[in-house]
Structure formats: structure tokens, C-alpha cells
Chains A and B, each alone.
Chain A
Amino acid sequence: MGLLIAVSTLTISTANSTQSRVSIKEFVSSYLQMKNAFAEDNSSGAATAGKKLEAAFKNFDKSSLTTAQKKTYEDVETDAREHAEHIGKNGGNIAHQREHFVLLSKDIYDLVKAFGGGQVLYRDFDPMANNGKGAFWLSETKDIKNPYMGKAMLTSGSVKEEIK
């Protein structure tokens, strides 16, 4: 019995140390670069960041993930890669890019929640974005810079969550 407890404790501590080693900072930095491009209505800048994000997914080493982490990661990956790819391919069509950004933001949020963002992030929400259906995004600053509205309504929205 004592041995069994010792073994399971060992497993848990291994899992924790693995988790701290997983870094998704490449994803987060490309995402933030994209967010800032959108806030400036910079469609080609967003496309560049999209390609960078797609490459980050392609180059990510999954071998250090636990089975459970792998499941979470892969669920997000198939979806997020597709959004990144579309944003990368659609430079010049910012409306279409922003539609993908709505869903991509959810994907990146879930990744950050599962693996940690490596920096303080804020989850901001604008009820008017996404054709009035509302949409959120992640930001590295407390100030609102709305990636859906751009210069037209840059400060529309509010901070809903601080993710440490």
C-alpha cells in the first residue's frame, strides 16, 4: 500500500515537471503579433503572423507531452492551424481574416489555460464584434486595443479576465 502511494506520488510529480517544460510561447507571440496587426487594420501584417503561427504548430515538439496534454493539444491544433493558414493566405481580406481570428482566439485561450502563456495575459471582450455576436481576444496589455474594430473603435471592449 505504502509503495503504491509512493509510486502514484512519483507519477504526479513527474507530470508536473513535464508541464512546466512545455512552452507555447511561440504560439502566444505570433498570436499577439497578429492581434496587434489587426488592431492597426494591417491585413498583410496579420497574414505574416498567421504564417508564423502555422509554422510554430508545424515545428512544435509533441514528444514531451503527456497523453492527456497531447489530447488537449491535438484538439486545438487541428482547428487552430487551419485558422492560422486561412489568415496567412488572406492578406488583403481583413474581414475574412477577422472571422477566423474569432475562433483562433478561443483556441489560443484554451492552449494558454492548459499550458500557461509564459506571461501575464488579459482576456478582453467586445459585445459588438463578430457581427454583434460578441468576441474575445487575448492581450499582453491592460489597455484595450480592439483587433476586431481596429482604428474605427480601437478602445471598444473591456478586460474580463487576467490570466497569470
Chain B
Amino acid sequence: MSALKKIFISAGILIIGIQFFRPAPNRSNKDSDADISKIVSTSDSVQVLLKIACYDCHSNNTNYPWYSNIQPVDWLLANHIRKGKNELNYSEFGSYSPRRQLSKLNGITNSIRDDIMPLSSYKLMHKNSILSTNGKELLIKWLQQAKDSLSVRN
């Protein structure tokens, strides 16, 4: 057996082998009481936009693409989602302090306004996550209202 053949066979075994090791999916079936929609009033159209454009990486529920079934894609996604949730998790928004909530709302507004979010790599794979001008305006208006309602409350 040539050395090249050996490399191919062991790579093949490795690829098949890692298919059996999957990270835990980011999927919570229960409705979170700390979800942002429970903290600030959120219309259905805003909710839909958030789900399509943000929730895959910034909530406790990811809508996984088909290719996540192939390893090591799932691991890469899991790492990505972990980082995303660490930065901002809409499902746990209510657990943030009022100060942090306002900070986050500001950050979200700036990221959407400046097209930093959704990430371009994400938009490449999820064409429907690209926000239209109207969609952006709708979200930014909602964020402003959210900020106002929180500032009054505190």
C-alpha cells in the first residue's frame, strides 16, 4: 500500500468517525420568561424578522441548516452560536440588568444600522436573512421604542 493510499484511508476513517460525535443542539422547547418579547412589546412582524435574521446565533433556538448534519460543520456552528449567545441572547434578555439591557439595545441598533449584523458570512448562506431597508427601519423603530420604555421604567 502506498503512503498516499494510507493517508486517504485514515482520513476517510477519521471523517466517518467524527460523524458520531455531535455537540448538543441549541434547542430549547420551553418558552423563556426572560425572552425579549416578554420584556418589551414586540409585534409579530418584528418577531419574524428577529427569528430569521438574528435568532440562529442569538437565542436558545437555532433553526439548523441541512449541512449541519455533516461533521465538522456542526462543531463550527456550535462554537459560533456559543460566541453569539455570549454576546447577546434574546431568549435571556430579561436576565440582564437594566443597564445592560439598554447597552444591548444600543449595540443592536448600531449593528443593524451599520450593516454589521447579520454577518455577511451568515447572509451568504441564509439569503432570507438579508434585511431590506423597510425591515431595518422596522427593527430600528422597535429598538427605539424598547429603549424608551425601559428608560421610563427605570
Contact = CB atoms under 8 A, between A and B. Distances in A.
Interface stretch (B45-53, B67-75, B98-106): B98-106
Contacts of A78: 97, 100
B110 A79 contact: no
How many B residues touch the partner, as a band?
under 10
A26 interface: no
Interface string A10-42: 000000000000000000000000000000000
Contacts, number: 22
A interface majority secondary structure: helix
B interface majority secondary structure: helix
Interface residues of A, number: 11
Interface string A75-91: 11011001100000000
Contacts of B100: 78-79, 82
B103 A82 contact: yes
A79 B106 contact: no
Given A99-B106, A99-B107, A103-B103, 4 more contacts: A75-B99, A96-B110, A103-B106, A107-B99
Interface of A: 75-76, 78-79, 82-83, 96, 99, 102-103, 107
Closest 4 CB pairs of A and B: A79-B100, A79-B99, A103-B103, A75-B97
